Structure formats: C-alpha cells, structure tokens
Chain A
C-alpha cells in the first residue's frame, strides 16, 4: 500500500451543495416589499431580523427548494410556527435545508494494495433553528430580536504510519473539528406614513455560547463580521411597491413588485437584483418572484439566478481567501427555485371593525325613555378595517337601565371608511325607578352581521333620578303622560261632580267649560313651591303635584296638562325663553271651537289664537297661566297678555323666543 500523502494546498473543490441563498438579507421569498404589505406572510430572518409580523394569531409555513444545477430538490427547507399575543409576536423555525456542504479533494492519492484512495476533506455549515421575538409599541413602531443556532464541522482524512518490530502499516483516519454558536440580532421597523416603511437591523451583532473551533483551519470557519442593514419600502401607487436594502458591507438589493386583485386574492409579481461584496460580477444575481395570497393562505415561488456561471466543481482558492459569510447565499450558491407555502391559523377571528371612541351625548334621564328610541344617547366612531362592505349592528347595554342588550339600527360601512354610529336604548319602567342620580356603566358593542362581536367599549354614564328633567320643555310631555290613569281619575271625579251643569251647556263649549271647571278646582288647592336645590331640574309627576298640593310653573303646567290630556283635551306647552336663561312655561288649550264661534267665549279677540290642526281645520286655542293661582278668567287673561306681547307683537314665535310644544 502506497501512500502519496502530500499536503498540498487544496487545488480543487468538489462542491456538493444542498441548498444555498444569498447576501445576508436576501430573502427566500424573493423580490417583494414584504413588510409594507399586510397580507404578505413573513417567515424569514434573512430579510426580517427584527421579527416584524402583522399576523393576528397563529401562523404556520414551510418552504421547499429545487437546485437547478444539481436537479436536486429538497423536501423541507424550513418550517415555522408563529404566534401573536397582544403586542408580542413569538416565532420559531426549524431549518433542515439551511446548510452548505463542501467536499474538498486534496488531490492526495493513497495506494493500498491494489486500490487507490483519494483523501478528501469535508466541510459543512448548517443553521439548525431560530427563535424570534418582537414587540409592537404602536401601529407604526415595532422592535424585535432574533436568535439563530449554527453548527459547523470540518473533517479531513489523514494518513498515519505505524511502525513496530513486526509490522509497519499505513492507515487512513478521519480527524474532525466541530464548532457551534448562537447568533443574535436586533432590529426595528418604523412606518412614518401609510405608504413608507423603514427598517434597521443587524447581522452577527451578538455571537453567543460559542463552542469548539477548527484550530489551524480556522479560516474555514463561518465568517461572522458585524453588519448593519438598512431597509426601505415605499408604495408610490396603490398596486406598485418599491424596496431597497443596503448593508454596511456595501452589498445592496433593490427591486419592485406589482400586485393585482385576482379571484378575491392578490397576485403579485416581483423582481429584485442584488450586489454582494463577496460575489461577482457587480450585480451578482436577480430574483424574479410570483406570489398569490388568498385570505389566510399564500403561495410564493421565487427564483434566484446568479449572473456568473456556477459549476458544481469550483476552485477552492476563493473559499480560502474570502470564506463563507452566509450559508444561504454565497459565491458557491447555485441557481434555484424556492416554493413557499404559508397558512395563517387564525383561531382568533380577524377584527373587521374598530370602535375608536364613543361620545355620550347626554346623561340618561329615565323619564325620556321614548326619546331614546328616536334620538341616540351616544354616538360612536367606527372604522372598517377590512376591504369589503360590512353591515354593522351596533348594540349597547347600560347597567341598571337595560334588562338586556339593546340593538340599534344596522348600518353599512364602506371598506376602510370611518362613520358615526348612533346608539339608541330602551329604558323599561322596571329599571327606571331611581330616586337619586348614580354612575352606571355603558357597554357598547359592534357586530359585523352574522358574526360575533368585533369590538366593544365601556364608558361610565350618569343616570339621573326619575324626576330629573333635561330642561327641554318639549320633553315635559313625558311627565304629563307618566301617570295618565291617576290624572284621568282626578279629572273625571271633578267632572262627575259637575255633571248637572255640564248637561245644560252648549255642546260647542264643552271643552272650554270642562277646562274651566277642572282648572278652578285644581288651582285652588295649589300653592307655588320652588324646585328643591339640585344640579338638575326637578319636575313632579302630576300625581305628586296633586299629593303635595304645589309646585313651580313646570310642575303645575305638567299637572294641569295631564288632567286635560287624560280626558282628551288637547294642550301645548308654551316656552318663553328669556335672555337670562330663566324660562317660563304655561299652557295653550284647544277649545275645539271654530274661529267664527269665538264670541261664545269672549268678545276680545286678543284672548284667543287660531291654530290649524293636522287636518287643516282652524281651531281656537286659549293660553292659561298656572302660576297665577287665581281663578280661570284671571289665569286666561294673564297668559293672553303675555302671549300677545311676547309671542305675537314682539314676533317671539318667529324669532324662536317663544316656542309652542304640542303634546302628542
């Protein structure tokens, strides 16, 4: 057996490549602006050392590559799993295909017996796994870190001579060296405006837990020069994206991609070219790519085509001088096609609607329950986060006011539009018996129709007592109608006692005489009593006014109106607004008399007013002042004088200084 053991400098490298990629930041997904596009699935640390991701829950993906030169296809290059928890995004990947192997022919022949053996050296770099974490501070700022575990192994066959007294021998033996390390990188993304995203990240910033070395062959160890990487993505048009990456080694990558809507998804074509300091020529290669994303699935196919010819057998000199800086993209990498499949496993349904804020228009006045059916008590600002029309169903629940969630009318909201959404409520009597005001909680819900709640918001709300009034004279009618039965009984009892007299009058005067009788009976029992000191206006219900035998102008007007309305006599409040903001309220009563019948009740046409009813018939209305606390005729004259002066002569009705509110 002969040994031609010559440790010449290696002359020839026979390179069998399993997979390879590019420059530090060349992404296996190809030429896309991937950070700026919300639907783009990210599973790479190469172009995303800051672990930026927009997924909202789980995400799973894998990739496979086909090496053109060797016609070798790998089953799984990479498999990953990501999970978002609030602002945190955690990511882990297993990269069985991220390795690079070299078989180095030493050109040393060893002849033993009749066989001739060539001594080889083996060199292997592999990235085993990676972990990532990022935190989203706001919609436009995210910071993250990635950690990747690498293994390197170098082994060479050596010839050993054994000499002894009886036998001399030659044997070949493999000597190997192994090295492992963790690589840690940091990065941030910042999106100052909707169509621009900037990123800054590192490569080899931290080399951690380094074990082993190649000793005298340390020039074959994976290079870990520190590199800063600056990225920019820009969307000048709705369908066009531009991206560029610059590395502190002076390597760079630029590209663009164009997306189309197709079958409800996005089809994108991208093209990038890159310059790598350690590869030739200046533009080391190009990267055409195609991607289709539909809902939570995306499929991407990209090719990496190097500018120079890559043979499977190459000179080793380059390896010895420049070394390997990146096991996925280096001077020995082949043209390849990479296919990726990603699936977003969103167990958490994607939020389509965002309830930005809710303005509570007014405190709750339980007496105004009917009012809340027509007028919202709160208005929310809602944005459609999706790219489709959504029918939204707003609803609300107020503690101690509602027995159940109250739905408001549905609304249509256009994609990405922001609209105001009114919230209505229903206050049932069983929940409205409040003696004092209290703070409740209002819960606002937004539902995209057929789905669960999309967003919700909670706000404190002031709930007033049942006798509280919002100072809107128009709303006094709710106090009038609150206890109609009691008022009806009171009025009927009075009229029953005057049945004989009523049976003798001109039937045209019935309403007028009934009004006069009830007024004279009611008012002689009353005295003027101011409201209790309170931060809100307090109005008594008619039964309370009758019970306590007194009240202010609101209470007396409400009570007398209820007494008439409960027996079918039409009334209206007259609101006299003063500049000192001290309002006065009295009543108008519909006598049902026609204008030509006015002389039946008065010879003075300043004591009545003609109003046309909804049927177009003109009727005589007379004003009544309740606080006069005198007889009917005096109350009538006082109110007539005030109405003539302020409503008619001073044009108060036209200038809205005097307003008539009909009770309906």
Chain B
C-alpha cells in the first residue's frame, strides 16, 4: 500500500513541469525565500505565491508544504531547494546537463596553461558585500533538498542539483555518504559511464580504508556492468 502511494505521488509530481508558481499551503518553523537574483532572504508565510526561480530554505525543525495544480511537495527541515528543480527531467536531458559540466570549462588548448598576472593592490581587510544570512550551511542544505527531490521521484533533477552544489560549494564534495548517495542514483539509472566517473572522483577524496575498499569494489563492479552493456 505504501508503495502504491509512492507511485501515485511520483506520477502526480512528475506532471509538474517547469512549474511557474507554487502556493504555500503549510509552514512549520522558519522558512525563508530568496527571490530571483536578490541577495537577501525573506520569511515565507502560509498562502504566499512563490515563483520557479525562487530558492526556499527551511531551518531547524521547520518544513514547508507547496502546492501547484493540486500536486504537493514537502521540503523538510535544514534543506534548500530552487523551485525550478521540482520537475521531471528526462535521462537524455540529464546526460546533456552532465555534459555541460565539461563544456563550461575553459578549453585546455586555448591558454597553454599560462595564467595572466594581475597586479594586487591593498590589503585583505574588508569587502563591500553585506553578508545578510549565514550561508556556510547552504551547500549542505541544498544537498538535503536534492535528496528530497530524489525521494519524491525526481532522480534526474536531484542529480543535476547535487552536481551544481558540489561545484559551487566545494566542501559538500567531501561528504562521502552524500557522494555515494548520488552515485547510486546514477547507477540506478543505468548510466554506468557517468557512475564510473563519479566513483573515480570519489576515490580521490581522503577516504578511510573501508571507504576506499568500498569504492574500489564499486568501480570494479560497475566497470564489468559497463563492459556488459
């Protein structure tokens, strides 16, 4: 019965494509929203209408229930999620998104590895940018948000969010369990090449012996699967 409910939920949620607006049904605790490209965060109230380019943040012991066209999504505590990610992404689009990771880099044949020198003036004393919210936890909150996407059936979207988060918040890359979580998502989608890349990347972390053994075994198993395909 529980599985049936999950399937129905996934089916319903999968119809939320490129959601434009979400209505806030319920709120518990402190939930903030970062609108569009604004730097600041504002509290969310029940009944508010949120846009697709908004970022929702739930603090400790908080959650928010969103609704769009009778479909509901709950974001649990200590999570952050861009609302535009609550959508079904095809495997093909996931592969394109993963490919963009390389495309956006500077081509290695363009610079010959020579960095230009820039004169440095002044001292390391201040910045004119205001720190309005503690964002040191934001990376981890985004990973939590990505996991909830996956739990609600948006596996592909969850992988995209995790990749973006690992890149923009480098400290999140160091969490072994999180890395394994999203690597397994790739494996579940039978994307063995991409899974291998992920495990190879994980193997370069500072791992314990057991973790290293686990990763090596995984790499071996997935390599075989990859060959069989």
Alpha-carbon distance A653/B160, docked complex (angstroms):
14
Binds B, one of A20-28, A548-556, A606-614: A606-614
Bitwise, A597-612 to B at CB < 8 A (1) or not (0) is 0111111111111111
Alpha-carbon distance A608/B100, docked complex (angstroms):
15
Number of residue pairs spanning A and B whose beta carbons lie under 8 angstroms apart: 135
A507: chain B residues at CB < 8 Å are 120-124
Interface size on A, residues (CB 8 A): 53
Indicate whether A604 sits within 8 Å of B39 (C-beta atoms), given known contacts A502-B121, A613-B106, A651-B97: yes
Interchain nearest-CB distance for A171 vs B (Å): 109
Indicate whether A615 sits within 8 Å of B113 (C-beta atoms), given known contacts A599-B131, A600-B129, A653-B100: yes
Bitwise, A492-536 to B at CB < 8 A (1) or not (0) is 000000010011111111110100000000000000000000000
A508: chain B residues at CB < 8 Å are 124
Q: What are 6 A-B contacts with C-beta separation under 8 Å?
A: A505-B122, A568-B119, A595-B167, A595-B168, A599-B129, A606-B53
Interface size on B, residues (CB 8 A): 51
Indicate whether A503 sits within 8 Å of B122 (C-beta atoms), given known contacts A602-B39, A662-B107: yes
Q: Which of A567, A594, A603, A613 contacts B34 (CB 8 A)?
A: A603
Alpha-carbon distance A662/B168, docked complex (angstroms):
21
Interchain nearest-CB distance for A607 vs B (Å): 6
From B165, which residue of chain A is reached at the shortest CB distance? A605
**Contact between chains at B170 and A596 (CB < 8 Å):** yes
B40: chain A residues at CB < 8 Å are 603
**Contact between chains at A651 and B93 (CB < 8 Å):** yes
**Contact between chains at A511 and B122 (CB < 8 Å):** no
Alpha-carbon distance A611/B105, docked complex (angstroms):
5
Is B36 an interface residue, CB under 8 A from the partner? yes
**Contact between chains at A510 and B131 (CB < 8 Å):** no
Interchain nearest-CB distance for B149 vs A (Å): 15
Interchain nearest-CB distance for A528 vs B (Å): 23
The A interface is mostly helix, strand or loop, or mixed, namely mixed
Chain B residues at the A interface, C-beta cutoff of 8 Å: 34, 36-41, 53, 55, 82, 84, 93, 96-97, 99-100, 103-108, 110-113, 115-129, 131-133, 135, 138, 167-171
Bitwise, A630-663 to B at CB < 8 A (1) or not (0) is 0000000100110010001101011100001010
**Contact between chains at B115 and A615 (CB < 8 Å):** yes
Interchain nearest-CB distance for B116 vs A (Å): 4
Alpha-carbon distance A615/B55, docked complex (angstroms):
33
Alpha-carbon distance A614/B126, docked complex (angstroms):
30
Indicate whether A504 sits within 8 Å of B111 (C-beta atoms), given known contacts A618-B170, A653-B103: no
A510: chain B residues at CB < 8 Å are 118, 120-122
Chain A residues at the B interface, C-beta cutoff of 8 Å: 499, 502-511, 513, 567-570, 572, 592, 594-596, 598-615, 618, 637, 640-641, 644, 648-649, 651, 653-655, 660, 662, 664
**Contact between chains at B104 and A606 (CB < 8 Å):** no
Q: Which 7 A-B pairs have the closest CB atoms?
A: A654-B96, A612-B105, A503-B122, A603-B39, A568-B116, A664-B110, A568-B118
Q: A507-B121, A507-B122, A654-B96 are in contact. List 20 more A-B contacts (CB 8 A).
A: A503-B123, A504-B122, A504-B126, A505-B127, A568-B118, A569-B118, A596-B169, A598-B168, A600-B129, A601-B129, A602-B39, A604-B39, A606-B82, A609-B104, A613-B106, A615-B115, A640-B37, A641-B37, A653-B100, A662-B110
Max chain A Cβ within 10 angstroms of own Cβ: one of B82, B104, B110, B125: B104
**Contact between chains at A505 and B126 (CB < 8 Å):** yes
**Contact between chains at B127 and A651 (CB < 8 Å):** no
Q: Which of B96, B106, B127, B128 contacts A612 (CB 8 A)?
A: B106
**Contact between chains at A506 and B84 (CB < 8 Å):** no
Indicate whether A613 sits within 8 Å of B103 (C-beta atoms), given known contacts A511-B118, A599-B129: no
**Contact between chains at A614 and B110 (CB < 8 Å):** yes
